[in-house]
């Protein structure tokens, strides 16, 4: 069984990621499940997490160094997204040229789609947002300033949508998001220097005539600070308003269907709303209404259905909560102990027609109980559907974590397990957890602060292993920006000879 899988996987590595992958031969029944993880040899060699219930992962290989002349090796491919069966991303060359790239996973198939000359240091391309068969983004050119553009993935099909601020002046566009086949985005309009601005909600179908303002939220408002959430054909979002007010809104893209659901007035020392999680019948978020403090709220998309979900610290005092994600029919969140760095993990049933009450799953212990300066929070989380992976980090006086762990839970105390430590201990690198068909890809260290490499986990301690060492010599490749395209996972990683470059690994069952 192992032989045919390795041969098939090697063929996939050679073929790239640009479309349907070749069919494998059917597995043999000569051998039962094999559970060891073999690192393999060489940059392109195939390895797998050998378990018939989980997919195989190849060793990662270098796709292309798209910044070969960069003098600062911190420059890197950015804004990785899947669009029409290819990877699209951006790069900014040393001379300021901003480029839109696409890749099928091969060096020859990784090419520039469109290039933009530098514009006073502001020409960088950003906000890649696939919407159906269109890829929206923002970029500046000399004639129009920073505006909304769209591409079909070809040079000739990449064009300006509309110049909302006519001439070379910039439009401040943010929170681009796909809602069905429509792009939603927010525009911030400044007044005189130091004066209050205003936020507007817009939609676009990729044409100038079809790019319309839905709502002006008024002077002194901002919709750029908070999260957004797509639920069905609508968008949930927060708007900050004058006098320290925060408003929860819902929009279907029409004026009549853009509604304020609730206003929160936490006061000058209160907390702004944060986090929006889709959890079946309701979306959940954290908000402070001054009566209950910062607590867990929910909404069904109506004003009447927007209500307090749980008040863990009764009265106006706030709970120190962090929303995670949904797994195994539960919404998970943590509460940090007010007198220490322990994290209490809670679950809330969300699979039925009516929500349940929060219940304590377990407590994530503080590894430094004698140090009163230690505080903690979860740096990343990801769900595979049945399990939630999350990464508590513990900090003291400096900006870098002094401990960083990977945990998994199925919603029970016995099913909540410490899988590995440490994850990255850098203060300049953001750890990502990326689910892949029941597995988890993540950056982690063997020991110490300076050897962060790609790891994989099947949710067990035994099945949590280093995938490979990209940067030799015990130093860090800092893998990040994991992006799935068909049977491939692209990411960015550092190696001395190429700097931050584009890498890919293959996923096969």
Question: Cβ distance 310 to 327 under 8 Å?
Answer: no
Residue 14, C-beta contacts closer than 8 angstroms, at least 6 positions apart: none
The reply to whether omega before 239 is within 30° of 0 (cis) is no
Q: Which two tokens stand for residue 370?
A: 């004698």
Question: Cβ distance 183 to 203 under 8 Å?
Answer: yes
CA angle 92, 141, 107 (to 5 degrees): 35
Say what the pTM is: 0.89
Three-class secondary structure assignment of 77-114: CEEEEEECCEEEEEEECCCCCEEEEEECCCCCCCEEEE
The domain segmentation of the chain, as residue ranges, is 320-478
The CA distance from 113 to 233, in Å, is 31
Q: Which pLDDT value is given to residue 122?
A: 64
Q: Which two tokens stand for residue 404?
A: 């960083």
Q: Determine phi and psi for 69, rounding to 5 degrees.
A: -105, 10
CB environment 177-199: b (16+ within 10 A), e (fewer): bbbeebbbbbbbeeeeeeeeebb
Q: Which pLDDT value is given to residue 35?
A: 28
Report, as ranges of residue numbers, the positions in the chain whose pLDDT lies below 70.
1-16, 18-55, 70-74, 121-123, 267-268, 353, 448-449
Q: Which pLDDT value is given to residue 66?
A: 94
Which of 231, 241, 355, 239 has the alpha carbon at shortest distance from 301? 231
The CA distance from 5 to 467, in Å, is 17
Question: Mapping DSSP to helix (H, G, I), strand (E, B) and coil, where does residue 9 land?
Answer: helix
């Amino acid at each position: 069984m192992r032989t045919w899988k390795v041969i098939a996987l090697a063929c996939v590595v050679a073929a790239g990621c640009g479309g349907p992958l070749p069919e494998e031969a059917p597995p043999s029944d000569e051998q039962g499940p094999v559970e060891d993880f073999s690192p393999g040899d060489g940059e392109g060699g195939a390895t797998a997490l050998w378990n018939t219930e989980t997919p195989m992962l190849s060793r990662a290989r270098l796709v292309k160094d798209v910044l070969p002349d960069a003098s600062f090796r911190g420059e890197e491919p950015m804004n990785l997204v899947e669009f029409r069966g290819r990877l699209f991303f951006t790069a900014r060359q040393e001379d300021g040229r901003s480029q839109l790239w696409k890749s099928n996973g091969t060096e020859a198939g990784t090419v520039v789609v469109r290039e933009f000359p530098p514009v006073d240091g502001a020409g960088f391309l950003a906000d890649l947002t696939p919407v159906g068969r269109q890829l929206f983004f923002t970029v500046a050119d000399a004639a129009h300033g920073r505006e909304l553009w769209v591409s079909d993935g070809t040079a000739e099909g990449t064009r300006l949508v509309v110049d909302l601020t006519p001439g070379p002046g910039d439009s401040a566009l943010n929170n681009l998001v796909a809602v069905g086949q429509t792009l939603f985005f927010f525009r911030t309009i400044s007044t005189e220097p130091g004066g209050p601005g205003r936020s507007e909600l817009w939609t676009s179908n990729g044409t100038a005539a079809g790019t319309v303002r839905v709502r002006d939220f008024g002077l002194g408002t901002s919709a750029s600070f908070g999260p957004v959430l797509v639920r069905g054909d609508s968008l949930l979002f927060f708007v900050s308003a004058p006098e320290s007010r925060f408003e929860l809104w819902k929009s279907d893209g029409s004026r009549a269907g853009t509604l304020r659901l609730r206003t929160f007035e936490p006061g000058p020392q209160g907390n702004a709303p944060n986090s929006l999680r889709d959890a079946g019948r309701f979306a959940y978020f954290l908000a402070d209404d001054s009566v209950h403090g910062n607590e867990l709220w929910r909404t069904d998309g109506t004003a009447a259905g927007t209500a307090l979900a749980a008040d863990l610290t009764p009265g106006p005092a706030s709970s120190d909560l962090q929303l995670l994600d949904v797994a195994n029919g539960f919404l998970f969140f943590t509460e940090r102990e007010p007198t220490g760095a322990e994290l209490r993990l809670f679950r809330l049933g969300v699979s039925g027609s009516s929500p349940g009450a929060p219940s304590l799953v377990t407590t994530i212990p503080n590894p430094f109980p004698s140090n009163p300066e230690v505080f903690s929070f979860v740096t990343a989380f990801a769900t595979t559907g049945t399990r939630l992976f999350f990464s508590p980090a513990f900090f003291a006086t400096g900006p870098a974590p002094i401990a960083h762990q990977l945990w998994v839970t199925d919603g029970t105390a016995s099913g909540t397990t410490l899988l590995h430590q440490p994850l990255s201990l850098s203060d300049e690198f953001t750890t990502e957890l990326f689910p892949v068909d029941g597995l988890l890809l993540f950056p982690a260290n063997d020991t110490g602060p300076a050897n962060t490499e790609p790891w994989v986990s099947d949710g067990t301690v035994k099945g949590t292993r280093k995938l490979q060492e990209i940067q030799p010599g015990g130093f860090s490749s800092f893998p990040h920006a994991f992006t799935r395209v068909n049977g491939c996972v692209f990411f960015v990683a550092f190696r001395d000879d190429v700097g931050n470059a584009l890498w890919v690994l293959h996923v096969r069952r």
